[in-house]
Amino acid sequence: MKSKLRLSASVDADLMKAATLAVARGRVPTVSAWVNDALRLKLEHDRQLEGLAQFIEAYESEHGEISLDEVRRAVRWARSRAETIRGSRSKEGTSRRRRGAKG
């Protein structure tokens, strides 16, 4: 087991409500576990962003700055090839129903 440190923190009321609800529903054993999971996710997110920033910096140092127009074109290209998972339209433009749904 990893060593643990005690933490005293002030949090927004809605976050505390979400944490206690997660415990009540059995998703986590304690509020501390919920907070620990949240901190771990935040740490991983920050590491991923730092890695992305380093990649972009290295790319731009070799190939030049990525322009806003290039970013917009890349977004359009990615969206044109994306499949809708939620929503009313698939990439073919037809409505999609859940398996077993009638209609």
Q: What is the pLDDT of residues 30-54, one digit of tens each?
A: 999 999 999 999 999 999 999 999 9
SS3 4: coil
Token pair for 66:
């990525």
C-alpha dihedral (80, 86, 92, 98), degrees to nearest 10: 160
Q: Which among 91, 94, 71 has a CA at the least distance from the CA of 81?
A: 91
pLDDT reported for residue 89: 58
Place 103 in a pLDDT band, splitting at 50, 70 and 90. very low
pLDDT exceeds cutoff 70 at 102: no
pLDDT reported for residue 84: 83
Angstrom distance (rounded) from CA 31 to CA 21: 9
